[in-house]
Structure 1
Amino acid sequence: MAARAVRRLLLLLYRLRGWKAVGEVPEPRRFVLIAAPHTSNWDFVNFLGLTADKGIRPHFMAKLSLFRWPLGGFIRQMGGVAVDRRNSGQVVQQMVDEFARRAEFMLTVAPEGTRGKAAKWRTGFYQIALAAKVPMVVGMMDYRTRTGGLGPLIWPTGDFRADMLKVLEVYRSCVPKFPDRAVCSIDDIVGSEVEAGERG
């Protein structure tokens, strides 16, 4: 009940601010959804509104301790999937296992990991897509036009830099809430020669 009430409130805020969802949801609905640029708390409100308008309920990773009473039920209803971070090297495999168990699974990951200025993107989202053999989808949010949606399927090839160039091309038309906080160049995304094996 609490999750429904929170969602209704956030959806109301989203609609009152004049946002609109555009485009189609890629099929099949099994992909890693890249949530970037992440520069404001409003991103979460607008993201929930946009996905609700498109009729989808993406999931997100949350640490295992959040799934205990009294928050556990709320986190699950909001789309949370528990991950055991005591062994950080197993987080990717845990999400690969989730993809294997579900016919429909849209996993949302914010690669910047912060609303502030990030030095580079973390690569966990990429490693999950690569290992689970599922595509990535760019979550687009344009504050200039107050529109958003989902981009095309981008399949990971193992060449992180080349694949991120494709992702960046989709993002070029989107203006974030605070552009100065966004990681927006290929060198910023990749950092100093990030290896595909790095965990995010």
Structure 2
Amino acid sequence: IGGIPVDRRSSQGAVEQMAEVFNRREEFLLAIVPEGTRKEIRTIRTGFWHIAKAARVSIICWYLDNANKRARWLGEITPGENLGDDLALIRNMYERAGYRFPLDLKTPDKGDDNK
């Protein structure tokens, strides 16, 4: 386990920095903690999708099932051309597993570049 520093002051954004790390290494796993665990959010952040698309890697969906005290693997997707369609697939995976999204949580509008 280790960490990769991200220079947010750099002209190269965090998405590009993480994609470059994927491209430089033969093996690399990146775990991104979900938003909304410490403060309320209204829109799903999409940086994870942009990183996976730029690095040409899959998104692995899993979550901690606190009721049953296990980590659950839900599946994986390869980012396609449409962010909104991919977010709908991901949301469906979580809903089928029993995760309930807050009622007012929105996905970004199609074409939104919310990183």
TM-score for the superposition, normalised by structure 2 = 0.81
Partner of 1:91: 14
Match of 1:149 among 72, 75, 78: 72
Partner of 1:103: 26
Which structure has the higher relative contact order (CA within 8 Å, separation 6+)? 1
Counterpart secondary structure, 1:109: coil
Q: Unpaired segments of 5 or more residues in structure 1?
A: 1-77
Superposed displacement of residue 128, structure 1:
0.4
Superposed displacement of residue 174, structure 1:
4.0
Superposed displacement of residue 151, structure 1:
2.6
Instruction: Number of aligned residue pairs: give it.
Output: 114
> Contact 2:65–2:72 at 8 Å: present in 1 too?
no
> Contact 1:159–1:196 at 8 Å: present in 2 too?
no
More helix by percentage: 1
Structure 2 residue 58 is the aligned partner of structure 1 residue 135: yes
Superposed displacement of residue 133, structure 1:
0.7
Structure 2 residue 74 is the aligned partner of structure 1 residue 190: no
More strand by percentage: 1
Q: Unpaired segments of 5 or more residues in structure 2?
A: none
Larger CA Rg, structure 1 vs 2 = 1
User: What CA RMSD, in Å, does the superposition of the two structures yield over aligned residues?
Assistant: 2.5
Instruction: Check 1:82–1:133 CA distance in 2 against 1; reply closer, same or farther (3 A cut).
Output: same
